[in-house]
Amino acid sequence: MNHTVSKNNSIVITGAAGFIGSCLVSFLNSTGFENLILVDEFERNDKFNNLRNKKYTYKIDRDLFFEWLHQNRPNIDFVFHLGARTDTTEFDYAVHQRLNVEYSQDIWNYCVLNNIPIVYASSAATYGSGALGYNDDHDIVKKLEPLNPYGISKNEFDKWVLHQHSVPPFWAGLKFFNVYGPNEYHKGRMASVVFHAFNQVKQKGYVNLFKSHRPDYADGKQLRDFVYVKDVLNICYWLMENQPGSALYNLGAGKARSFYDLALATFAAMGIPPDIRFIDMPEDIRDKYQYFTEANMVKLKAAGYTNTFYSLEEGIDDYVKNYLITGNYY
């Protein structure tokens, strides 16, 4: 039985000041949901504009959230747990263990106790080198070997979830592939390649892409599954409204595209002739670099999601023209 989500009761969004979280706040506002409980570290000034003019009921610091829940006992209809330490260059695993595993377990247990459905952010980083493919089958989760502490922490939580006997009325773990789009201005090195490409063209007139350090891939022809954030929002909303089978679900566009194609699309959206150059890949990521990712999207489609996805060109065109050029937020 689906738990219908009422506009009177609350929806919790963790990571609400971040890239995907703040876009989700805006999306939910646009569909009439304003009774939102936002959880994040709100003292970061560079995230402030992500939530400007958005409607919500409460903003609660991540470390005070459970104490606040205990005191206020709000009626919560749904949880989107998008908050995490997402820096793939953070190699202190204790940070990931606390924020990505233990905090997520606390959220999960609260949802179980209070019978609240949950969608949480997993990651395509769980797939590691991709040696086992990119299929969101539950039976391969325990065999996956992520390449960095972030990916390991996300996979540890997925493994833990799959071992739970007590579960929320509905749950979905979304393995996000390369998400790009508005509201990632604050992300620095971790922002999408589209964001960096746009800024390089604006400042220098050309784009630097990494050379390939493998003979089977030409320079710039490394492949990724790039998914536009507006598709991510549609899927999150659809999962909340429909609550199909509880599972881990891949969330990509389902089509691998090259960084070269991405650069060409960025130039096209900016109306500037392409000038693409190649630089050596930094030593610190070279041995952990994925040359190919592509989400198998069969499971989500089989669950009933039928919307078409933005193509790479369509997504970049919208992102560049409506957000990056103007500095607008979603």
- pLDDT at 2 (0 to 100): 61
pLDDT at 85 over 70: yes
Query: What CATH number is attached to the domain comprising 78?
Result: 3.40.50.720
From the candidates 187, 221, 255, 288, give the one annotated as an active-site residue.
187
Q: Is-catalytic flag, 59?
A: no
- pLDDT at 4 (0 to 100): 76
Distance between CA atoms of residues 231 and 308, nearest Å? 9
Using alpha carbons, select from 269, 119, 112, 276 the residue that is nearest to residue 208. Answer: 276
pLDDT at 32 over 70: yes
From the candidates 56, 150, 228, 319, give the one annotated as an active-site residue.
150
- pLDDT at 285 (0 to 100): 80
How many CB atoms are closer than 10 A to CB 210? 18
Q: How many domains, in total, are found in the chain?
A: 1
Torsion angles phi and psi, residue 207, rounded to 5: -120, 135
Q: Which residue has the tokens 């539950």?
A: 138
Instruction: Tell me, yes or no, whether 74 lies in a domain.
Output: yes
Mean pLDDT of 307-326: 98
The angle, 0 to 180 degrees and rounded to 10, between the axes of the packed helices 193-204 and 259-270 is: 50
Distance between CA atoms of residues 313 and 295, nearest Å? 18
Q: Is-catalytic flag, 150?
A: yes
Instruction: Tell me, yes or no, whether 270 lies in a domain.
Output: no
pLDDT at 33 over 60: yes
What region, left, alpha or beta, does residue 228 occupy, with left being phi > 0 and alpha being psi -120 to 50 degrees?
beta
The first and second tokens of residue 194, run together, are 């589209």
Distance between CA atoms of residues 235 and 197, nearest Å? 27
More reliable by pLDDT, 89 or 132: 132
Instruction: Tell me, yes or no, whether 27 lies in a domain.
Output: yes
Segment among 1-15, 195-209, 255-269, 291-305 with least mean pLDDT:
1-15
Residue 236 domain boundaries: 10-180+226-254+295-309
- pLDDT at 118 (0 to 100): 98
Distance between CA atoms of residues 190 and 192, nearest Å? 7
Strand order in the sheet with 171-176: 58-61, 36-40, 10-14, 76-81, 118-123, 171-176, 247-251
Q: Give Cβ neighbours of residue 13 (< 8 Å, ≥ 6 apart).
A: 21, 24, 25, 28, 36, 37, 38, 39, 79, 80, 82
Instruction: Tell me, yes or no, whether 193 lies in a domain.
Output: no
Instruction: Tell me, yes or no, whether 54 lies in a domain.
Output: yes
The reported pTM is 0.95
Distances in Å between the Cα of 298 and the Cα atoms of 19, 135, 252, 254, 264 are 26, 9, 11, 9, 29
Instruction: Tell me, yes or no, whether 284 lies in a domain.
Output: no
Instruction: Tell me, yes or no, whether 126 lies in a domain.
Output: yes
Instruction: Tell me, yes or no, whether 32 lies in a domain.
Output: yes
How sure is the predictor about 95, in pLDDT bands with cuts at 50, 70 and 90?
A: confident
